[in-house]
Copies of this chain bind each other. A is one copy, B any other.
Amino acid sequence: MKSEWADSPQRIGWIGTGIMGAAMCGHLLDAGHDVTLFTRTESRAAPQLERGARWAASPRRVAESADVVFTIVGYPHDVREVVLDPDGALHGAAAGSVLVDMTTSEPSLAREIAAAAQARGVASLDAPVSGGDIGAREARLSIMVGGDAATFQRLQPLLARLGKTIVHQGPAGSGQHTKMVNQIAIASNMVGVCEALLYAQRAGLDVATVLQSIGGGAAASFSLATYAPRMLAGDYAPGFMVEHFIKDLGIALAEAQRMALALPGLALAHQLYVALTAQGHGRKGTHALLLALQQLNAAR
């Protein structure tokens, strides 16, 4: 069933123009959509405003002039503020419009938003992404979607402007849960990659030569291939920032606890990342975890 929206420009609302949001919003402007915008700091929206987006004074005002409102902000409390607060998008959203939260946030908050929206005749999706700033710029993100199937169908043409792998994972909260699955797998793998490299260094091996032996076999992973060379070069610039990863791992731990699910590897990874911020590395990339393990094992 093709939506009547599929091929026509729509009134888009966009809230949040961080590194990810700015690139993603740009794709919708490129596609000729009418975009109304709100960010906490108006000056950060200048590039979008210059390209024809209109400014609104609040998330609520954004929603009042949009058919679909995208949010991609920082923390769950930011999502709550821009969606559920009295000046939030939900309170400006007309019946029949759609809220799409692309922030990595709490599955339980996604369900809460979905219920509040449904009570007002508004549809909603949770649609967090992975793929980083490069994926956002090149519209190659993986978008993990929770919400009802009809709304997913209706939004697919728009989501296809932002990402490449767009999968409906189930009812409200399922997109966020899927993102947590992704982060849980990454967290312990990063521990393994960093411990492996530290062992190699301490054993006096040449790490680049070690990678020739192990990079193509059972130890192969995106993180090993992507980050080991950067660690070797001492390059800890963020692909994905430690502070954001800690937020995600904290959400995963809390949700797991809510399900009475103990995940010891996740808990350990989380603690090592907390230590990494204690050491002053919170704004480095996640592969800076090697530094925390080096510090743990450093002579005073």
Q: Which residues of A contact B (CB under 8 A)?
A: 107, 130-132, 142, 144, 165, 167-170, 174, 177-178, 180-189, 191-193, 195-200, 202-206, 209-210, 212-214, 216-224, 226, 240, 252, 255-256, 259-266, 268-269, 272, 293, 296-297
Subset of 9 A-B contacts with CB under 8 Å: A165-B216, A165-B217, A169-B205, A181-B197, A182-B218, A186-B192, A218-B240, A219-B222, A262-B297
Q: How far is the CA of A158 from the CA of B193 in the complex (A)?
A: 31
Task: List, in ascending order, chain B residues with CB within 8 A of A170's CB.
Answer: 204-206, 209
On whether A264 and B259 interact (CB within 8 A), knowing A203-B107, A209-B169, the answer reads no
Q: A170-B206, A188-B191, A214-B182 are in contact. Are A261 and B223 (CB under 8 A)?
A: no
Question: Given the complex of chains A and B, what is the CA–CA distance between A252 and B183 in angstroms?
Answer: 26
> CA A255 – CA B205 in complex, angstroms?
14
Name the B residues within 8 Å of A202 (CB-CB): 256, 259, 261
Copies in the complex: 2
Given the interface pairs A181-B205, A184-B192, A188-B195, the reply to whether A262 lies near B216 with Cβ below 8 Å is no
Of B189, B206, B209, B255, the contact of A221 (CB 8 Å cutoff): B189
CB distance from A256 to the nearest CB of B (A): 6
How long is the Cα–Cα vector from A240 to B218 in the complex, in angstroms?
A: 10
Instruction: Determine the chain B residues whose CB is within 8 A of the CB of A226 once the complex forms.
Output: 218
A195 near B205: Cβ-Cβ < 8 Å: no
